[in-house]
Amino acid sequence: MSGHFFSGNYAPLDTECDIDALPVHGALPPQLRGALYRVGPNPRFAPRDDRYHWFSGDGMVHAFFIGDGKVAYANRWARTPKWQLEDNAGRALFGTFGNPATSDPSVHGKNSGTANTSMVWHGGRLFALEESHQPFEIDPHTLASKGHQDFGGAVDKRFTAHPKADPATGELHFFAYLPDSPDEPNMLYGVLDARCKVSTLEPFRAPYASMMHDFMLTERHVLFPVTPLTISVERAMKGLPLFAWEADKRSYVGIGMRGQPMDTLRWFASDACHVFHVMNAWDDGGRIVAYVMESDTAPGMPNADGSRGNPAGMAARLCRWTFDLESDGDGFERTILDDLAAEFPRIDERYTGRRNRVGFYCCHSEQRVRNGAESVLYDSLACFDFASGTRQLYTLPAGDVISEPVFVARSAQSPEGDGWLLAVAWRAQEGRSDLLVIDATDVAAGPVATVCLPYRIPFGFHGSWRARD
């Protein structure tokens, strides 16, 4: 597995650089002023074991600083305690996902955080996130590492890679899975206020120990999906996967009222299915509606016995989940909305927790679906209009790959979805990357501006926009 994730555009960069001005083809919108931050795995050293997974590489932050018709670029490793220990040693010391069975004894019990999954701008501060450790702060201008943050001692272990910002209150809602022990299904739900002070921290217990990558926020509720991507240190110490799919378990969603104790969670259930990423959720009278990217099994993850998971079940699709809070049952409705294999959903985040009319995501074109592709290397961007049920699609040239689209509103007053999508494209024939600026109201037309990099940005995960101060 390590060979696959060390080849092509999965392979890490070995340099950090600053570029004052990148070539721009087309016209950058004059209103587009700020910085796009993206992060992804970029291992400092080759892995120690043959079970290396893309998800566990050291984080590297990539920044595009946009304004006055120009774009500057910089990239830096997140110099976590793990990165520093390995940099000093000149070799990898930690096993994949910090697995103690494959780690050097010198680092047992030490911080294995990678800060490689997502970026969030909150309270005037920039954080690189992953779900097994505290937020890792990055200087928004220089990308210098400022270290893991505990917010006054309140967040002492874990934090989600996908917190949700409430546009009305300015609060950032977050959760942590397995904060005490990997073998105990304990959870935490918390809230950071607009000044990065923890105002809420509530424990609760899940049905079983699961890798919960994302969750849902509405104006009145929080929802926690627990799927059969289970975690077991006991399993890992036997040489089997730490994270694995157990198809015989059911999937659950715990729903709680914001501001109420989490021990009042109500659990809904369905047959086994998986969600890595949520697009949005909102209250609809006595119901809650959520848009998620649902797959039959967890993409890229093995079975509990170490065998390869079923590729045919790994393709996620845009799906609507509906929870009837006034019913007596514990089931919920699941409806596929788009047949294209897709991931990395984003919205106009001014509508987080409110009913959104449009959503954006990466997907495979029709041809690749017919060919049975289950890869996470997507060749298209989609805009889905939920009011009409129609989809716009922009497809890259053959072999090219598009990143998650980050939405930037044209102005604070502009209608929902009126703005731009920023996404990085891997140009396979040229072995380098571009930043695409796409009018979000006319996705099918393709980029209005293309910012050309002289080299590549390895495949990564998520990004965030910071408007210029």
pLDDT, block means (10 residues), the chain with 469 residues: 75 96 96 97 88 88 96 98 97 88 90 96 97 96 97 92 97 91 87 96 94 97 97 87 92 96 94 97 97 94 90 93 97 96 97 98 73 70 96 96 97 97 97 98 98 96 93
The whole-number pLDDT of residue 371 equals: 42
Can you give the pLDDT at residue 2? 54
The DSSP secondary structure of 194-253, one letter per residue, reads TTS-EEEEEEEE-SS-B-----EE-SSEEEEEE-SEEE-HHHHHTTS-SEEE-TTSPEEE
Q: Would you state the pLDDT for residue 19?
A: 98
In angstroms, the CA 83 to CA 59 distance is 9
Give strand pairing partners of 321: 290, 334
Q: What are phi and psi of 181, to 5 degrees?
A: -155, 135
Q: Mean of the per-residue pLDDT values for the chain?
A: 93
Q: Is 124 exposed, middle or buried (0-12, 13-18, 19+ CB in 10 A)?
A: exposed
One-letter amino acid at 182 equals P
The torsion angles phi and psi of 226, rounded to 5 degrees, stand at: -115, 115
* Binding-site residue set: 162, 213, 277, 462
Annotated binding site for Fe cation: 162, 213, 277, 462
